[in-house]
Amino acid sequence: MNSDARPGFLSRAARMLLWLMLSLVLLIILWTLFTLNWSYGDGERAGVLQKFSRKGWVCKTYEGELALYVVGGVAPEIWHFSVRDDSLAPTINQAIGQRVRLHYTEHPLVPTTCFAETRYFVNRVEPIKDATNSQVTPVQ
Residue 129, pLDDT score: 86
Is 79 found in the same domain as 20? Answer: no
Confidence category of residue 55, pLDDT binned at 50, 70, 90: very high
- 3-state helix, strand, coil split of the chain in percent (to 5) is 30, 35, 35
Q: Which of 10-19, 42-51, 64-73, 127-136 has the highest mean pLDDT?
A: 42-51
How many H-runs (helices) and E-runs (strands) does the chain carry?
2, 5
Q: Are 121 and 63 in contact (CB under 8 A)?
A: no
Q: Which domain holds residue 90?
A: 40-127
Question: Does some domain include residue 133?
Answer: no
Q: Are 46 and 76 in contact (CB under 8 A)?
A: no
Residue 134, pLDDT score: 46
pTM of the model: 0.79
Q: Could you read off the pLDDT of 101-117 as tens digits, one per residue?
A: 999 999 999 998 899 99
How many domains is the chain partitioned into structurally? 2
Residue 60, pLDDT score: 92
Q: Are 117 and 57 in contact (CB under 8 A)?
A: no
Q: What is the chain's Cα-based Rg?
A: 24
Residue 137, pLDDT > 60, answer: no
* Overall average pLDDT of the 52-63 stretch: 93
74: CATH: 2.40.50.140
**Cα 72 to Cα 17: distance, rounded to the nearest angstrom:** 61
